[in-house]
Amino acid sequence: MSANRKGDRRERELVNALDEAGFAVMRAPASGSATDRELPDVLAGNGEMFYAIEAKSSAGDPIYLSGEEVEALVYFARNFGAKPRIGVRFDREDWYFFHPGDLYTTDAGSYRVKKETALAEGTDFAEFVGESKRTTLDDL
């Protein structure tokens, strides 16, 4: 299966999960190529939370985003009134979400998410949609 088809399938999976969680959600068709404007992959809102999401998936290798991708997401989200989020999904794992400012920045100015970082530090789907809240030792 081509990387694009797999990415499209993962985006549709995210859209369906957000829909089931009670969000009004839409996927920007061919967000990277349909327009000269950079659009997020997914827009989702439930009346309380509004997200502009750049969705990325990987078999297990680190996920990289260009500085331009992240800047475009933040710019769109700010103008739209949504929270910018990077959604990552590694094979055999769930979706994890990051604010762009929480991502590791490489020396070349791109952004990187490793699988172990996603599992340890990312916001899981239940917390992302407001179904649960993470409790850390600092909270206790």
Indicate which residues carry an active-site annotation: 31
DSSP bridge pairs for 111: 65, 105
Rounded Cα distance, 102 and 90, in Å: 18
Q: What residue numbers does the annotated binding site cover?
A: 11, 41, 54
Alpha carbon distances (Å) from 138 to 34, 48, 88: 45, 27, 26
In three-state secondary structure terms, 85 is strand
> 102 φ, ψ to 5°?
-95, 0
Q: What residue numbers does the annotated binding site for Mg(2+) cover?
A: 11, 41, 54
